[in-house]
Amino acid sequence: MDLGLTGKRAIVTGGSKGIGLAIATALAAEGSDVVIAARGVEALDTTAADIAEKSGRKVVGIPVDTGDDASVQALVDRAVAELGGVDILVNSAATPWSAGKPTDFAATTDDVVRREVEIKVLGYLRTARAVAPHLIDQGWGRIINISGLGARQANSIAQTIRNVSVSALTKNLADELGPHGINVTVVHPGRTRTARLDQQLAEKSAESGVPVTDLEKELATNSIRRIVDAAEVADVVAFLASPRSIGITGDAIAVGGGVVGPVYY
């Protein structure tokens, strides 16, 4: 299936590693020119060059701090100048939720919640706000927000709030921007295989003596009983970024291999 992404121009925040990197790679492989944006300049340049070499597309790394509105605006201005415009925004710049963060009510301070909202929710809002005028002017665009299945679990106040908030942001943008030809969706990955997870599993295996394959089986509690790869999340995002996704907007797409038990509708 031709997704119709050849010649499209995309910005992927958080695009130098993890799921963001997989998404940038997938979009370039489908024929899009891509700006990858993140904090680390050195990693950006190396990653952009690697994706460009493999895909034959124009790939540019631009540093950004999504916590700063001026930095976000500078990112979008430069991306438009480098690519000649923008058609697709993928918001994936957020710190991963880790086991070290507080989950209980007593330990959930204002600052814990504020930091999660600032980085993930307001960061996504800033970037969408800077990109939207370009999409409106051309009468077409796609915005995909990467959230997480933490939106559907009450394991942590801060984690749930940040992910549910991304869903709420998505729906509001979809309703307002839809008449301008812009679809906005949110993707909820679950436990996902990335370089970071592979490293964590290798370290845990070395400490415990438990084989990595056994550790993976313990984590794979989803319906398909295996960890979803970042590239498989990226495949879904590539479709949502394409003209073929016209019938999907304002909704959440879960890409976690299926949550056992609950019925979502």
**Tens digits of per-residue pLDDT, 117-176?**
998 999 999 999 999 999 999 999 999 999 999 888 887 898 899 999 999 999 999 999
SS3 state of residue 186: strand
Closest to 37 (Cα-Cα) out of 27, 45, 49: 45
- What percent of the chain stands above pLDDT 90? 78
pTM of structure = 0.94
pLDDT tens-place string over residues 213-229 = 999 999 999 999 999 99
Domain ranges of the chain: 9-193+229-255
Q: Is the pLDDT of residue 65 over 60?
A: yes
Asked if the model's pLDDT at residue 47 lies above 90, the reply is yes
pLDDT at 98 over 70: no
Average model confidence (pLDDT) for the chain?
Answer: 94
DSSP for 65-80 reads: -TT-HHHHHHHHHHHH
DSSP assignment of 74-118: HHHHHHHHHHSS--EEEE---PPP-TTS--STTT--HHHHHHHII
Helical (H) or strand (E) element with 169: helix 157-177
pLDDT at position 150 is 85
* Inter-axis angle of helices 123-138 and 157-177, nearest 10: 10
Q: What is the CATH number of domain 9-193+229-255?
A: 3.40.50.720
